[in-house]
A and B are shown apart, each in its own frame.
Chain A
Amino acid sequence: MSTAPALDTLIHAPGRLQICAILSSVSDAEFAMLRDTIKVSDSVLSKHLKLLEEAGYIALSKMTQDGRQRTWASLTAKGRKAFSAHVAELTRLAALTG
C-alpha cells in the first residue's frame, strides 16, 4: 500500500506558511521583519514561532543589536525538508485542481 503525500497542517496555516516561505529563502530573519512582512501582531507571531519551534521546524536565537536583544529565526534541516515536501504537495494539488 502506498502512502499518499499529505499537506502538513502545521505549516499550512497562512501565517506559518508565509514564515516558512521567508525562512526558506534566507539563512535567518529577525522577528520584526517577519512580523511586518506577514502583518501580524507580536503575540500572534510569537505563537506561530513557538509552534514551529516545538515541531523542530525552526530554531530561534537571540542577538544583541543596538543594546537590545532581538530574536532571529531560521529553518532547521527538518523544517526545510517539511516545507519542501509541503510545497511539492501544494504544487501537485494545484495542478490537479487548476
Chain B
Amino acid sequence: MALSREQLAQRVAKELKDGYYVNLGIGIPTLVANYIPEGMEVMLQSENGLLGMGEFPTEDTIDPDLINAGKQTVTAVKGASFFSSAESFAMIRGGHVDLTVLGAFEVDVNGSIASWMIPGKLIKGMGGAMDLVAGAENIIVTMMHADKYGNSKLLPVCELPLTGYGCIKRVVTDLAFIEIKDGAFHLLERAPGVSVEEIISKTAGKLVVPEHVPEMTF
C-alpha cells in the first residue's frame, strides 16, 4: 500500500539525528515535527526568522508577532532565537542547517527540482525554496510518486520551471525511498506491500533497481 502523508513523514523522521537543526517546508514536511523520536533534541528553523519553533499555541497564548513560514501562529521552545530574514538566509545559504525537507511537483535524474510554478495555472512565487535547495547539503524531497492520473513525477528532465538545478539527492515518495546519483534514480526502499514493478511503472526517469529492495520500516 502507498504510504499515507503521516507514514511518509514518519519515514523522513527516521533520517533525523540528535542535535540537528532542521528546516521543514509546508505540507507533508511540516508533519515530520510530529515524529521526532523521544529523547532526541532537534531545533526547527523557520525561515521567517525563528530557530526553535514549537507547537501551536493555545487560544490564550496566541501571539500575532510569532508565526512560522506558513504564516501559522506558533510558539517558541526554550532556547529559541529570533532574527531578521537576512540572518535567517545566511544560516540557510551558508549551509548551517543540517537537514531540509521540502515538497516538489517534479524531480529529475540529475537532481533538479521544480516546485514553485505551473505556467498559466499557478503563480504564487518561490518564497524561500530556491535558497533552501541551493544552500543545503542534506535535502529530502517528499512528494507523491505519480499524479492522480498515474503520470510519473520522477522524470528524465523536469518539465516545469526549476526551483534548483542538480541539488536533490534523496526523495521519499508514497511508494519508495530513492537516491539520486550518477544521472539516475536508485531504488533504496519500497513502501510496505508496494511491488518493485509498480515503482518501475511509475518512474519515468532512469531507475536503477538492486536485486533486493527492502520494505521501509518506521
A binds B: no
Binding site for A on B (CB under 8 A): none
- Interface on A for B, CB 8 Å cutoff? none
